[in-house]
Amino acid sequence: MLERGEVANSWRRERWDSLRLLTPNWQCRLPGYPYKGADPDGFMTMPEVVAHIAGFAAASSAPVRTHSTVTSVRRIEGGYRVATDSGEIRCRGVVLASGAANIPRVPQVRQGVPQHIECFTAFDYRNPGRLPLGGVLVVGASATGVQLADEIQRSGRPVTLAVGEHVRLPRNYRSRDVLWWMDASGVWSQRYDEIDDLERARRLPSPQLVGTPEHATLDLNVLRAAGVEIVGRLAAIRDGRALFSGGLANQLALADLKMSRLLDTFDAWGRDYAPHAEVGPVERFEPVRGPASPRLSIDLRSGEIRSILWATGFRPDYGWLELPVFDRGGELRHDGGVVSGVPGVYAMGLPVLRRRKSTFILGAEEDARDVVGYLVRYLADGVRSV
């Protein structure tokens, strides 16, 4: 196992100070390594995540070579040549487990930002104290965007939040954590080859959730009550003006509709398969109340906005993978983690890789079992099968 930094590198280096996991501790199960702490329903801080993963690495005696950056993977007769900054390896098979979130995904509109405005992404943001005083435009209202909008607004910097497509979820539903429902109802176990629009499922933004000791919900109603101004999706920046989509009301209504449908699914499962589960009565939540006339533009030269935080997602970095395994959009082509077009190459840790829960730590156990199964068969007889 080659790791460019240390074990749990992304959790050590690429996260902001206040971040806690949005999945409860009991869902941080790694293969054969459950959470054993005193707070199964709590949410880990970053040092706790690092300790948990480092504990797993030690318990599993995984042969990790830290501080070894892979700089290229090429095909050679009978296998692959893997170049690293500390030497070369020849191997028959390769598992790509370099992560789905190596680089912040920042939209092209960034080009139009006036020079005096400081730009940040979730990778260089650490805490609000690093931002200049004054207004902040947060672009993106998924987990990262809503969490950081809340924290920055509380620091006294007025936040405007540009809201595109998003997934609204309450933290608790019928007296259980909403992610308990995702798991127990089987929604998260749905296999990739049973999902109608797999591409879309893989691109779905992260849910508007935060892990706090209070188990608080963090939706757009909560943010508005805290003083955050919400506007539509950032569509363009022209002559120093940020232009927002007029479709905010539709985005809000769509997110509410999808949330209600998901809750219906939970209720149906509860009724049919778990009538004795210890849950509270059926609940429905108030729709998000958007502003009556959201602003459609802001003059970025006026001084109102001093910094922009791009919370617009992440992408993997396969700059070192010199194999014909990408589609025209630059995405890795794979079938449930079996990389297409080359023998003996597998992937782990990508969104909806083999199941909906593959996006999360909890998905690693079953995915690893499957992917390692393919790898072992391949190594045994050279056969590539799904």
Ligand X SMILES: Cc1cc2nc3c(=O)[nH]c(=O)nc-3n(C[C@H](O)[C@H](O)[C@H](O)COP(=O)(O)OP(=O)(O)OC[C@H]3O[C@@H](n4cnc5c(N)ncnc54)[C@H](O)[C@@H]3O)c2cc1C
Can you tell me the distance from the alpha carbon of 85 to that of 63, in angstroms, rounded to the nearest whole number?
Answer: 18
Can you tell me the distance from the alpha carbon of 127 to that of 152, in angstroms, rounded to the nearest whole number?
Answer: 8
Q: Which of 30, 50, 57, 70 binds ligand X (CB under 6 A)?
A: 70
First-last CA distance in the chain: 23
Residue closer to ligand X, measured from CB, 295 or 315: 315
Q: How far is the CB of 294 from ligand X (least distance, A)?
A: 27
Q: Which of 37, 55, 93, 99 binds ligand X (CB under 6 A)?
A: 99
Q: How far is the CB of 18 from ligand X (least distance, A)?
A: 12
Q: Tell the burial category of 249 from Cβ atoms under 10 Å away from its Cβ (0-12, 13-18, 19+).
A: middle
Q: Which of 22, 73, 138, 353 binds ligand X (CB under 6 A)?
A: 22
The helix (run of H) or strand (run of E) holding residue 177 is strand 176-177
Tokens of 162: 């540009």
Q: How many CA atoms lie within 13 A of 273 on its CB side?
A: 9
Decide: is 3 part of the binding site for ligand X (CB under 6 A).
yes
Can you tell me the distance from the alpha carbon of 73 to that of 248, in angstroms, rounded to the nearest whole number?
Answer: 44
Decide: is 371 part of the binding site for ligand X (CB under 6 A).
no
- Name the segment binding ligand X (CB under 6 A); options: 20-28, 168-176, 327-335, 377-385: 20-28
Residue closer to ligand X, measured from CB, 147 or 245: 147
The helix (run of H) or strand (run of E) holding residue 307 is strand 305-310
Q: Which of 360, 367, 371, 375 binds ligand X (CB under 6 A)?
A: 360
The helix (run of H) or strand (run of E) holding residue 80 is strand 79-84
Decide: is 10 part of the binding site for ligand X (CB under 6 A).
yes
Q: Which of 25, 98, 153, 312 binds ligand X (CB under 6 A)?
A: 98
Can you tell me the distance from the alpha carbon of 154 to that of 96, in angstroms, rounded to the nearest whole number?
Answer: 40
Q: Which of 128, 349, 354, 374 binds ligand X (CB under 6 A)?
A: 349
Decide: is 314 part of the binding site for ligand X (CB under 6 A).
yes
Q: Which residues in 272-301 contact ligand X (CB under 6 A)?
A: none
Residue closer to ligand X, measured from CB, 22 or 305: 22
List 338's β-bridge partners, or say none: 335, 346
C-alpha separations of 161 from 34, 212, 214, 294 in Å: 37, 21, 24, 11
Decide: is 21 part of the binding site for ligand X (CB under 6 A).
yes
Q: Which of 51, 64, 91, 97 binds ligand X (CB under 6 A)?
A: 97
Q: Which of 32, 41, 62, 69 binds ligand X (CB under 6 A)?
A: 69
Q: How far is the CB of 360 from ligand X (least distance, A)?
A: 3
Residue closer to ligand X, measured from CB, 89 or 97: 97
- Name the segment binding ligand X (CB under 6 A); options: 18-26, 253-261, 266-274, 289-297: 18-26
C-alpha separations of 160 from 16, 157, 308 in Å: 20, 10, 10
Decide: is 83 part of the binding site for ligand X (CB under 6 A).
no
Decide: is 113 part of the binding site for ligand X (CB under 6 A).
no
**Helices (runs of H) and strands (runs of E) counted in the chain:** 8, 21
Q: Which one-letter amino acid corresponds to residue 369? A: R
Residue closer to ligand X, measured from CB, 10 or 212: 10
Q: Which one-letter amino acid corresponds to residue 196? A: D
- Name the segment binding ligand X (CB under 6 A); options: 75-83, 131-139, 212-220, 358-366: 358-366
Asked if residues 211 and 23 have their Cβ atoms less than 8 Å apart, the reply is yes
Neighbours of 318 (CB within 10 A): 18
Q: Which one-letter amino acid corresponds to residue 180? A: W
Decide: is 243 part of the binding site for ligand X (CB under 6 A).
no
Footprint of ligand X (CB under 6 A)? 2-5, 9-10, 15, 21-23, 69-70, 97-99, 101-102, 122, 144, 314, 320, 348-349, 360-362
